[in-house]
Structure 1
Amino acid sequence: MTSTSPQPQALQRMDTTPALVACDIDGTLVRTGHPVNQPVRAAASRVRAAGHHLVLATGRSLVGALPVAVQLGLDDTWLVTSNGAITAHLVEGYYEITKQHLVDAETAIRIALAEAPVVRIAAEIVGDGYRVSTPFPDHELNGRQRPAGDLREFWTNPTPRLALRGHAAYQLVPSLRAAGLTAIATTLDWVDVTAPGISKATALEEIRTHLGVEDHNTVAIGDSENDVEMLDWAACGIAMAHAPAFVIAAADRTTGTIDDDGAASALLSLLA
């Protein structure tokens, strides 16, 4: 797919046919560490009012995604978190975890420590925070941090996702993938690890089927490596203009940057 592809025919019917619109959070709906702004809130409200399903699909933990859902005024909605490892249904301020994929933490950690002995480890505790080998800066993890007494705590307590933090941590990705794990370097010094074959796209496809949305009536908006699969999955993948070239190449078209409220423009374009 290319950014110059014509808009799919399905999008011309989105004002009358329920669609599934999946949105990344950081770098798409919000600047990391900032609340959702008014243009994005207004655009999301209009999409919802038109009868479409707005789903948050994020690398954040569930604890990190919930405040954004609240800021957007979302209710009776679906959340895909931890890069697809967790699917939750949010209704009237309460959530139910409907799907959880656990990662082989012992294998991942042994590989990481063999290649990078000083790497920091964080294992997500769903709905609470993270179990950590060494404290992370507060802004890097959502929720509480619980220090692990020893490494065995990481694999005796099931987790859907590990975060590995350290100098040139991206170099761990080939070994982790060779072991069958899903590994994504979100920065040069940070790698997220989840179960094999897990992505935002796999979770979104299950939600689409559950909701009965036609596969040609799906949209995804994102800006990062962990969005590539969902941009390819959607009938219309929309990349933020500031996204890396390979992310833009995976999309059907682009919208503005985060500074231009590109996500708001993309959402409103679906109603035109």
Structure 2
Amino acid sequence: MTPTQPQTQPARLGDVAASVLVACDIDGTLVHTGHPATAAVRAAAAEVRAAGHHIVLATGRSLAGALPVALELGLDDAWIVASNGAVTAHLVGDRYQVTEQHTVDAEDAIRVAVAAAPGMRIAAEIVGTGYRVNLPFPDGELNGTQHSVTGLEQLWADPTPRLALHGPSAYRMVWALRALNLTAIATRADWIDITPPGISKATALEKVRTELGIEDHNTVAIGDSENDIEMLNWAATSHAMAHAPAFVIAAADHTTGTIDDDGAASALLSLLN
């Protein structure tokens, strides 16, 4: 920070005196789901890192789904907040260490789901590997290996940080799941992510910020979805993608371009000016 800049103001990434934590959502922000990052996004991420700052991927994806994006962006010494904050990992080179993991009460959630919709597809995350599933999910819907189970009880036999429900009108179950004191977010009409109560991208990012020794006013977030709202509110400076729903845009300080316009790259580069 320059000597004349108030200490309470967010540092610009170009200010060499202060390192900044930049939390970036993945799907709908850095990449189109199922597609690699564009050259513009990769270049912007490289410039931010070259300036000595920290890009932390903060995603609803499982760790298995977030790792390839981190490596693609060259984040060889970085933190990843996965599963909407339920899993935090430190990536060094091509190896990672899970530093924190929270587990969800899977049995209660699954019983509610199958009672409401017996044909619902259910996936219980296996950290770093894939999922246990009651029914196969369509190609591209889950990251990692799908392990089919023969009985529902096998879905909750081992601890899991996140459940995914996939089926027509799945969103209708959100309030019943929240009544169980679970975090339930309908990312699409046919998809719900379920994680432990009180856990979000923001709660995990705050612990990463402390670990890195970053001042709280030197935090930036970029996102596009409902599961990014806590993160956008947590950051000192926040950017919503232009294609985000109105209530997500309202939660952010700034609006950048759409994903088709490489809005995330524009947000990153604007912070270096």
TM range, smaller chain: over 0.9
Q: TM-score, normalised by structure 1?
A: 0.95
1:10 aligned residue: 10
SS at match of 1:185: strand
1:172-219 deviation digits (Å, cap 9, x = unpaired): 110111110000000011000001111100100000011110111100
Q: Provide the residue aligned with 1:203 in structure 2.
A: 204
Separation in 2, partners of 1:173, 1:80? 23
Contact 1:223 1:239 (8 Å CA) reproduced: yes
The question of 1:177 aligning with 2:178 is answered: yes
The amino acid of 2:103's aligned partner reads L
Deviations 1:221-240 (Å, cap 9, x if unpaired)? 00011101100000011000
What is the Cα deviation at residue 112 of structure 1?
1.1
Q: Secondary structure in 2 aligned to 1:232?
A: helix
Aligned length: 265
- C-alpha distance in structure 2 between counterparts of 1:148 and 1:128, whole Å: 15
In the TM superposition, residue 37 of structure 1 has moved relative to its aligned partner by: 1.1
Tell me the distance in 2 between the aligned counterparts of 1:110 and 1:220.
36
In the TM superposition, residue 14 of structure 1 has moved relative to its aligned partner by: 4.7
In structure 2, relative to structure 1, the CA distance for the partners of 1:147 and 1:13 (3 Å cut) is closer
Counterpart Cα distance in 2 of 1:232 and 1:74: 25
**Aligned equivalents of 1:39, 1:164: Cα separation in 2:** 34
Q: Is this contact kept in 1: 2:25–2:58, CA < 8 A?
A: yes
Deviation per residue, 1:82-101 (Å, 9 max, x gap): 11110000002100000000
Identity of aligned residues (%): 71
Within-5 A mapping of 1:129-168 = 129-168=130-169
Q: Which runs of 5+ in 1 are unaligned?
A: 1-7
Name the SS for the 1:134 alignment partner.
Answer: coil
**Shift of the alpha carbon at 1:109?**
0.4
Measured in 2, the distance between the counterparts of 1:128 and 1:12 equals 37
User: Which residue is equivalent to 1:59?
Assistant: 60
| Stretches (4+) displaced over 6 A | none
Q: Which runs of 5+ in 2 are unaligned?
A: 1-7
SS in 1 for 2:203: helix
Which structure's relative contact order is higher, taking Cα pairs within 8 Å and 6+ residues apart?
1
CA contact (8 A) 1:14 1:217 kept: no
Deviation at 1:78, TM superposition (A): 0.1
Task: Give, in whole Å, the separation in 2 of the partners of 1:240 and 1:150.
Answer: 41
- 1:98 to 1:67, Cα distance in 2 relative to 1, 3 A: same
Normalised to the residue count of structure 2, the TM-score between the two structures is: 0.95
* Distance verdict in 2 for CA 1:130–1:13, change over 3 Å: closer
Q: 1:11 deviation in Å?
A: 3.4
Correspondence for 1:104: 105
> Structure 1 pair 132/13, CA: closer, same or farther in 2 (3 Å)?
closer
Q: Is the 8 A contact 1:237 1:253 kept in 2?
A: yes
Tell me the residue number matched to 1:127: 128
**1:42 paired to 2:40:** no
Deviation per CA, 1:4-25: give whole Å up to 9, x if none.
xxxx931346522101000000
Say which SS state the counterpart of residue 113 (structure 2) adopts.
Answer: helix
- Give the structure 2 partner of residue 268 of structure 1: 269
Find the aligned partners of 1:175 and 1:76 in 2 and give their Cα distance: 40
Q: Residue deviations 1:142-170, cap 9 Å, x none?
A: 11111011011011111110001111111
- Aligned residue in 1 for 2:33: 32
1:91 aligns with 2:60: no
